[in-house]
Chain A
Amino acid sequence: MQMEKIIITGRGVIAGVVEGEALVCPKSITGWAGIDPETGIIEEHGNINKGKSIKQKILVLPGSKGSNGWSCYFGAALVAGAAPKGWMFTKIDSSAGVASAVMKIPTIVDFDESQDPCKLIKNGDWVKMNGETGQVEISRI
């Protein structure tokens, strides 16, 4: 069986090297009440990943969505032990910026259009990310 590998690079903003299973939400996750912070399970009505947990995943998002309470639900998940290992945003926005400043988990942002992680990464891919260099290594069988 052939292992496919793709490498993309964004702007690394919070250092640290982590790897794990990818969870990709191409339409992001809504802020207020989008996740259960105790479990990390996505609760947003209509989200394609509703019922899946962000806990210990590499979370891939285009940016934030919805309420200005976006960051606090992720911050609460961190305090409850249900945070992702690392995350990346196609394009940084202010809510995603605050959430990253709160979470302090490895974070990569601002990818070129041709390297959009929301398009190139699929749920279940194994992803290694370096929050200092901004490099993302995607492996899939």
Chain B
Amino acid sequence: MVKLSDDENRIIDGQAGKLKQVAMQNIVRYAEILDAQSLCEVTKATVFCGAHHYLDACKSDDFDVVFSRMNMASDEILTFDTTYDNCYIQSCVSPCDHHAYKPFGQPKAFFKKNRHYLDRARKAGVNIVGSCSPYLTGWLPVRGEHFVTTESGVTVIANSIWGAMGNADGIEAAFWSAICGRTPRWGNHVRENRAGTHLVQVETSIEGMLAWDLLGKAIGGKLLSSAIPVVSGKFSEVTFNKLRQMLTALAISSNCEMCHIVGLTPEANSIDGALQGKQALGGCRIDDTCIQEAYDAVCDSGAGSVDFVSLGCPHYDIDQLKKTADYLKGKTIHPDVKFTIWTLYPIKAIADENGYTQIVEDAGGSIHTGTCPASIGDRFLSQYDAFVFDSLKQAECIKSAGAKNVYYGDAFRCIDAAVSGKWEGRCRWKK
């Protein structure tokens, strides 16, 4: 039985309106399934807004019908017109660039529908940002702050790197929490539950973004369900971008929500500290072979012509755009290749200001905001035959969607492939 406060009971009784009542009822049902005893206040939320393709299952274009059935699990039609005042809420990616549809072969009607869905969310209190990297616009929950997010990588990043408290939840529950301001006090919201459960000893050097990406997959592939790894190794030149790449890959390769890295993350000053004095339930080792196998499982073998090259998952920050522009300067993208970079609107504005966008466009590429190839989906991707990504997450998503050839590698080798129009043996990564 979930114990509710007076405020929570007031919402359940309908005194704060129908939408908040249904949101709270859903949160309480969710809490009962988890066997949680109480709820906690949520002050940071990202929510999944826009006319995403999975919503097509509802067979309706009426926003209220779609929102009620798909996000609120309600057959009663509700109006999304309010959110929790004390919560910083912003939107995750949508299936459209915020300003363009023609480059993606999307109909104008779909672009307008997506805009309408975003506008409805904005009017209800959601900041329309459109990014899987909400921290790049200041969405930064501090240690001990309770958050919800629709981006799996952000769940692991916020728990692990910042010591904030959140579970993976789901797209629906993120809306429920953003509306009623509560989530079950369970899992990572409880200090004692954040103790590491399994030791991971990394016995190989991890250098460069790609190796960190692969480390995430290698660990994720060995983790038991719901395990919290405590990762140890001789790491050097660690950056936030390397960590977010690794934790994003870890999230999609397992159901991991929190990862201690000894000496790097705030709840892991030591192995014992990360375990909170408890006994580890098991462990594994990651060596050269594990990392290479992780790569070979994602990147198709062989070489061949390519017609789609994409950088930026998670969304690039401004320094990544700078480094890309520096490398690309003076080069020309092969005429048969679509070369795209993905970021969020304010970062692109800074890239415009610094001249990076011009360099990318002069070379024959483009920078887009608010979405990513996997989120845009088939209508766009079906125009291409052979894909190159600098991100394990994009490569895995596009593979699952049935793409013919998917190559994956270091960002600069991806640019080389975009320039030559070929994925060659030398582009392939080797441990």
Contacts and interface: CB of A to CB of B under 8 A. Distances in A.
B172 interface: yes
Contact of B374 (A32, A38, A46, A91): A32
B401 A63 contact: no
A124 interface: no
Given A43-B401, A66-B251, A66-B255, A97 B33 contact: yes
Interface stretch (A16-24, A69-77, A133-141): A69-77
A45 B170 contact: no
A33 interface: yes
Contacts of A32: 252, 374, 397
Interface in A94-141: 94-95, 97-102, 104, 107, 109-110
A53 to B, nearest CB: 15
Contact of A38 (B29, B57, B397): B57
B279 interface: no
Residue among B55, B225, B397, B402 with max Cβ neighbours from chain A (10 Å): B225
A75 B168 contact: no
Interface in A30-50: 30-34, 37-38, 43-46
Interface residues of B, number: 49
Contact of B255 (A34, A43, A65): A65
Given A72-B172, A109-B33, A67 B57 contact: no
A6 interface: no
Nearest to A38: B57
Interface in B57-91: 57-58, 69-70, 73
A95 B170 contact: yes
Contact of B173 (A34, A71, A77, A90): A71
Contact of A101 (B26, B48, B257): B26
B296 interface: no
Contacts of A62: 224-225
Interface string B13-35: 00000000000001001101111
Contact of B402 (A43, A70, A101): A43
A23 to B, nearest CB: 17
B283 interface: no
A93 B226 contact: yes
B150 interface: yes
A104 B374 contact: no
B35 A66 contact: no
A28 interface: yes
B252 A30 contact: yes
B254 interface: yes
B297 A63 contact: no
- Binding site of B, secondary structure by majority: helix, strand, loop or mixed? helix
Contact of B29 (A33, A73, A94, A101): A101
B240 interface: no
Contacts of A79: 57-58, 69-70
Contacts of B54: 37, 69, 72-73, 76
A44 B397 CA distance: 9
A45 B184 CA distance: 33
A76 B255 CA distance: 20
B429 interface: no
A11 interface: yes
Given A28-B225, A66-B251, A69-B150, A76 B186 contact: no
A77 B69 CA distance: 12
A18 B420 CA distance: 57
A110 B226 CA distance: 12
Contact of A68 (B32, B34, B151): B151
A7 interface: no
A98 B255 contact: no
A30 B399 CA distance: 13
Residue among B151, B169, B255 with max Cβ neighbours from chain A (10 Å): B255
A58 interface: no
Interface in B210-225: 224-225
B400 interface: yes
A93 B168 contact: yes
A93 B32 CA distance: 12
B405 interface: no
B155 interface: yes
Contact of A71 (B32, B58, B170): B170
14 contacts: A13-B33, A30-B252, A37-B54, A65-B255, A66-B255, A69-B170, A71-B170, A71-B171, A76-B57, A92-B35, A94-B169, A98-B30, A101-B29, A110-B35
Interface of A: 11, 13-14, 28, 30-34, 37-38, 43-46, 62-73, 75-77, 79-80, 90-95, 97-102, 104, 107, 109-110
Given A93-B257, A97-B184, A98-B30, 18 more contacts: A32-B252, A38-B57, A46-B297, A62-B225, A63-B226, A66-B252, A67-B152, A68-B168, A68-B171, A69-B170, A70-B170, A72-B54, A76-B58, A91-B225, A95-B170, A98-B172, A98-B173, A104-B73
Interface of B: 26, 29-30, 32-35, 48, 54-58, 69-70, 73, 149-152, 155, 167-174, 184, 186-187, 224-226, 251-255, 257, 297, 374, 396-397, 399-402
Closest 3 pairs between A and B when the two form their complex, measured CB to CB: A71-B170, A98-B170, A94-B167
